[in-house]
Structure 1
Amino acid sequence: MTSTIPSPSTFTTDDKGLTEMAWDPITRIVGSLGIYTKIDFGNMKVAECHSTSSIFRGYSIFMKGKDPRDAHFITSRICGICGDNHATCSCYAQNMAYGVKPPAIGEWIVNLGEAAEYMFDHNIFQENLVGVDFCERMVAETNPGVLERANATEAPQAAAHGYRTIGDIMRALNPFTGEFYREALQVSRYTREMFCLMEGRHVHPSTLYPGGVGTVATIQLMTDYITRLMRYVEFMKKVVPMHDDLFDFFYEALPGYEEVGNRRILLGCWGSFQDPDVCNFDYQDMTRWGRAMYVTPGVVVDGRLVTTDLVEINLGIRILLGSSYYDDWQDQEMFVTHDPLGNPVDRRHPWNQHTNPRPQKRDLDDKYSWVMSPRWYDGTDYLALDTGGGPLARLWVTALAGLVDIGYVQSTGSSVRINLPKTALKGPVELEWKVPRWSNTIERDRARTYFQAYAAAAALHFAEKALVEIRAGRTKTWEKFEVPTDGIGCGFTEAVRGVLSHHLVIRDGKIANYHPYPPTPWNANPRDSYGTPGPYEDAVQGQPIFEENDREHFKGIDIMRTVRSFDPCLPCGVHMYLGDGKKIELLHTPTQSAGVG
């Protein structure tokens, strides 16, 4: 049987008796992420970890001089997975810079598109990529004793999901042969259809613009979306209890497993799903409309919610270098000295960033990655926030803030309640995600399941609101605007994997500076200029190892589970650079072949 996980690509022992192991590239993710570790097999723990990325793309360089109205079409190409999140965020930044407020139906359509993207992407990643880490074949290779126990353990919620034992769940997750694995592939098809109904095509929207959308708003459009959505709602009534049983089992079967991927609770969420009754995209009102989002923006430090203010969140962003392959911009131009409210803007803020690539040989003691190191400055410390893979931070902030109450979803101050209505085969179900004790591997994966249900429930609300607009005849989906000669804008939303911001500076009607910061730079960054490890590094470094294989046959499953729990997507980690460019001359035009036309 072919192994479901590759062995480390390097295997050496240093003078301290630590075994150096590297996985480069990490599989089952997008992009060239490398994880380099030193493992103490005597104490069964990871002693050291470095996270590297070997790709540089340079969007912040070639956006300069472009027409601002092209920004969302260009930046959606940052990624072939979450391109629509970039397009949405770019449109938000442009709306601010142009001073335009889209019609309500336009915003409900954007919300429905983004909700479908969360459902699609979280489903395919959780079930067809992360799920493999917990499937029967994987557990048989790395922890045969755990599989034996799983086969003998009754699933507590078998009546809800249909699998009698935990071992049955693991078999259903086997790639290509597992029943649930194959079912999830079908789900990813119709959730993508849902997205295309709202935004034209996946993953680079064709109907999304600043000022609104080009989608024609009809009752038939909403009906087509809702019929697929209700299938997904029914699917989630099975998925959430199934994953709860599986993840709870790992805590029970492997005492101490909560320490795998555990790190200090430092979570950031930039909010998602605008409320068009409140949001006008004016920076001066950003605190108010940010708090009206249907996923609340905020920062959680050591379990405490320290802010839900998007203005404060924006001003606290800092881009540090340290172990990344760039020269500093300390003596270069400041584009924005003060925000529209008069607050000073730091030189290390994205509005003022310059991208100065300095390619060099990888040196784990010095420079070793193309990813910069975003941090959030709280006035005292430069905090290495992570996104918890996206859902963990979104649910944690929303739960503590207690600002969301739309019938289908309520945040209580300590939990999030999700109400799924009656579907074809099942009655109504209430789910509750409770703030966990840890920010670790299992809880990142668990939150991803619950947020799929959250997105579905929120979409029901958005569809109802859209139908109200359509039935009232308010079907205008786009508002005209003028591009200013000079201006600034910022967009905040949640990409599938977490925080996403776009910062835009316009001069003489062209883009003077543009910096997108997706979730992966926040999660995958190397040690910064203060020596602080990035979240991948921090979560892996120091974690215990529960794999039953000896050093010669070690797979690193606990390390892989931790890294993949963040949902890595390295194309978004570094933003094609050609230096001074090359001139290509056509010296010969080949004659067209006969019969080819």
Structure 2
Amino acid sequence: MTTKPQSSAAKPSGKSNLVDMNWDPITRIVGSLGIYTKIDFANNTVAECKSTSSIFRGYSIFMKDKDPRDAHFITSRICGICGDNHATCSCYAQNMAYGVKPPHIGEWIVNLGEAAEYMFDHNIFQENLVGVDYCERMVAETNPGVLAKAENTQAPNSAAHGYRTIADIMRALNPFSGEYYREALQVSRSTREMFCLMEGRHVHPSTLYPGGVGTDATVQLMTDYMSRLMRYVEFMKKAVPMHDDLFDFFYEALPGYEHVGNRRVLLGCWGSFQDPEACNFSYQDMESWGNRMFVTPGVVVDGELVTTSLVDINLGIRILLGSSYYDDWTDQGKFVERDPLGNPVDARHPWNQHTNPHPQPRDLEDKYSWVMSPRWFDGEQHLPLDTGGGPLARLWTTALAGKVETEHLKATGSGVRIRLPKTGLKPEVELEWKIPRWSNTLERNRARTYFQAYAAAAALHFAEKALAEIHAGNTRTWEKFEVPDEGVGCGFTEAVRGVLSHHMVIQDGKIANYHPYPPTPWNASPRDHYGTPGPYEDAVEGQPLFEENSRENFKGIDIMRTVRSFDPCLPCGVHMYLGGGKSLDRLHSPSGGDPEQ
């Protein structure tokens, strides 16, 4: 059910009472993430945590000299999970560099595709990957006392979701046998179909381009999308109250559980869902159209919203090294001295980054990861922002900003109200996500369920806007453009698991520099050259442990829950652990062909 420590027996770390326990690779995600800890079993806490990644991708290297128009097709392949987020972000950066504004219907279609992706990915991760950490079988292995209490605890929202006790919810989450687990798999299929209706193919879109989309805008297209969306809306009316009951129970059953995965509130959101009535993709206007996005961009520091400006966000990005396997580049010169508004651009900004890989043995006291350390500079500090797994930061910034209001969504300053209309079997409901007291494991997971409902409500608005365009005869979905000889572009959006930006420099009509920054480097970054730990490390280090197993049978469930609450994804490493020093031999036929064919 969980990945066991890499070694068969826990070893003392050399510090008194501390034991080295490592999980490498972490399971239930795309591989190559390793978590290396020192556990203080005397005090049931994690004394130290290091986050490692063992793969080097190099997209920023082989993008050089490519035709800029190919950027979204290439960068989509960065990930086999959220490739469409990369393609979308790349198109945003290209739109800026080319000075092109897509037709309104083109942007509404892109929004509908991205909303479907959020629904699909959050659903399958929450219910079929994260949910396993809270299912009956897992809790029975790690906290039998908690399961016994769950059997006798009534679910407060049972009328909404149909499960009488908390233990019934846990049973419904059991992999393959649980009713809710299986239902979620069916739901994920329909959300993937919704995406394909809008962008042709999942997860690498075939109809998404700078300047718009190649999708035919028809009433039938919207009808097919809406029929699936309304089934998903009905599912959300069950999912949200069910998860509220489950996560609230863990606070009650395990006093102090709020400290699991808790860290300082340092959240970043780059915004999502463009408003085509405001967005022209011009850098000079980026602050104004960024504030019209249907997920508000922003940075939250200690609970305070310090900016919602995409210009501030862009200029504040710094790429640090420290514990990463790279050599520095600050003596190699800049590609961009000033942004289009005349603001100076730092040498550590992605526009000016050079990628200098330096492979070397892993040393947890020095260099230990291929992930760099993105930070956001507020003028005084290089802040290790996290994304809260994506939804926590999105909802938090949107709530505080108070800028979003549609017939289905309203940001109130202290939360977000989500109105889901009447569906086949359930009446209209209004859900409300409220800013929590903590940025911790349970609240990251809770926000993921609420944001599924948020994405569904947003999609209702986008579909209505798209239908209005179609009925008005505005069905042209793409605007032509020309690639300039010189230019810069930056795209900002939210990948499923958090902040995503693409930074492009064009020289002589070709890509001179290109750097995509998805959420994984922000969340999984190692210690930077100031010694500041990355968010995974910070959230795990110092957290209490509530698992009832002894050291000999320790599963590390509280650690796994924290790491997975960030929705980790380090594509696209393929790892195989055979254990016991076994080797795997592949036979080749004398003719050189595959003996299995």
Under a length normalisation based on structure 2, what TM-score does the superposition of the two structures give? Answer: 0.95
**Could you say which residue in structure 2 is the equivalent of 1:236?**
236
**Paired residue total:** 575
**Could you say which residue in structure 1 is the equivalent of 2:336?**
336
SS in 1 for 2:276: coil
Q: What is the letter of the counterpart of residue 457 of structure 1? A: A
**Could you say which residue in structure 2 is the equivalent of 1:587?**
none
SS in 1 for 2:571: helix
Query: How many Å apart are 1:415 and its aligned residue?
Result: 0.5
Q: Distance in 2 between matches of 1:415 and 1:51?
A: 32
**Could you say which residue in structure 1 is the equivalent of 2:485?**
485
Cα deviation per residue 1:145-183 (whole Å; 9 max; x = unaligned)? 000000110000000000000000000000000000000
Cα deviation per residue 1:503-529 (whole Å; 9 max; x = unaligned)? 000000000000000000000000001
User: Superposed, which structure 2 residues align to 1:102-121 within 5 Å?
Assistant: 102-121=102-121
Q: What is the letter of the counterpart of residue 256 of structure 1? A: G
Q: What is the letter of the counterpart of residue 239 of structure 1? A: A
Contact 2:30 2:572 in 1 (8 A): no
Cα deviation per residue 1:447-470 (whole Å; 9 max; x = unaligned)? 000000000000000000000000
Contact 2:3 2:26 in 1 (8 A): no
**Could you say which residue in structure 1 is the equivalent of 2:35?**
35
Q: What is the letter of the counterpart of residue 353 of structure 1? A: Q
Contact 1:520 1:572 in 2 (8 A): no
**Could you say which residue in structure 2 is the equivalent of 1:508?**
508
**CA distance change for structure 1 residues 591 and 142 in 2, over 3 Å: closer, same or farther?**
closer
Q: What is the letter of the counterpart of residue 377 of structure 1? A: F
User: Superposed, which structure 2 residues align to 1:320-469 within 5 Å?
Assistant: 320-469=320-469
**Could you say which residue in structure 1 is the equivalent of 2:580?**
none
**Could you say which residue in structure 1 is the equivalent of 2:5?**
8
Contact 1:519 1:572 in 2 (8 A): no
SS in 2 for 1:315: helix
Q: What is the letter of the counterpart of residue 133 of structure 2? A: D
Q: What is the letter of the counterpart of residue 544 of structure 2? A: P
Contact 1:52 1:370 in 2 (8 A): yes
**Could you say which residue in structure 1 is the equivalent of 2:257?**
257
**Could you say which residue in structure 1 is the equivalent of 2:52?**
52
Q: What is the letter of the counterpart of residue 493 of structure 2? A: T
**Could you say which residue in structure 2 is the equivalent of 1:87?**
87
SS in 1 for 2:478: coil
Q: What is the letter of the counterpart of residue 12 of structure 1? A: K
Query: How many Å apart are 1:31 and its aligned residue?
Result: 2.1
Contact 1:275 1:292 in 2 (8 A): yes
Q: Distance in 1 between matches of 2:125 and 2:117?
A: 12
SS in 1 for 2:216: coil
Contact 2:80 2:572 in 1 (8 A): no
Cα deviation per residue 1:20-47 (whole Å; 9 max; x = unaligned)? 0000000001121000000000000000
**Could you say which residue in structure 2 is the equivalent of 1:582?**
none
**Could you say which residue in structure 1 is the equivalent of 2:524?**
524
**Could you say which residue in structure 2 is the equivalent of 1:577?**
none
Moved over 6 A (4+): 590-593
Pairwise CA RMSD:
1.3
**CA distance change for structure 1 residues 187 and 424 in 2, over 3 Å: closer, same or farther?**
same
Q: What is the letter of the counterpart of residue 332 of structure 2? A: Q
Cα deviation per residue 1:489-511 (whole Å; 9 max; x = unaligned)? 00000000000000000000000
Contact 1:518 1:572 in 2 (8 A): no
**CA distance change for structure 1 residues 489 and 175 in 2, over 3 Å: closer, same or farther?**
same
Query: How many Å apart are 1:51 and its aligned residue?
Result: 0.2
Fraction of identical pairs, as percent: 82
Q: Distance in 1 between matches of 2:537 and 2:415?
A: 29
**Could you say which residue in structure 2 is the equivalent of 1:583?**
none
SS in 2 for 1:526: coil
Q: Distance in 2 between matches of 1:527 and 1:125?
A: 27
Q: What is the letter of the counterpart of residue 122 of structure 2? A: H
User: Which sections of structure 1, spanning at least 5 residues, go unmatched?
Assistant: 574-589
Cα deviation per residue 1:537-596 (whole Å; 9 max; x = unaligned)? 0000000000000100100000000000000010289xxxxxxxxxxxxxxxx9999xx9
Q: Distance in 2 between matches of 1:6 and 1:431?
A: 36
Q: Distance in 2 between matches of 1:151 and 1:591?
A: 59
Q: What is the letter of the counterpart of residue 11 of structure 2? A: T
Under a length normalisation based on structure 1, what TM-score does the superposition of the two structures give? Answer: 0.95
SS in 2 for 1:571: coil
Q: Distance in 2 between matches of 1:260 and 1:281?
A: 41
Cα deviation per residue 1:260-282 (whole Å; 9 max; x = unaligned)? 00000000000000000000000
Query: How many Å apart are 1:14 and its aligned residue?
Result: 2.4
SS in 1 for 2:502: strand
User: Which sections of structure 2, spanning at least 5 residues, go unmatched?
Assistant: 574-590
Cα deviation per residue 1:324-366 (whole Å; 9 max; x = unaligned)? 0000001102000000000000000000000000000000000
Contact 1:215 1:477 in 2 (8 A): yes
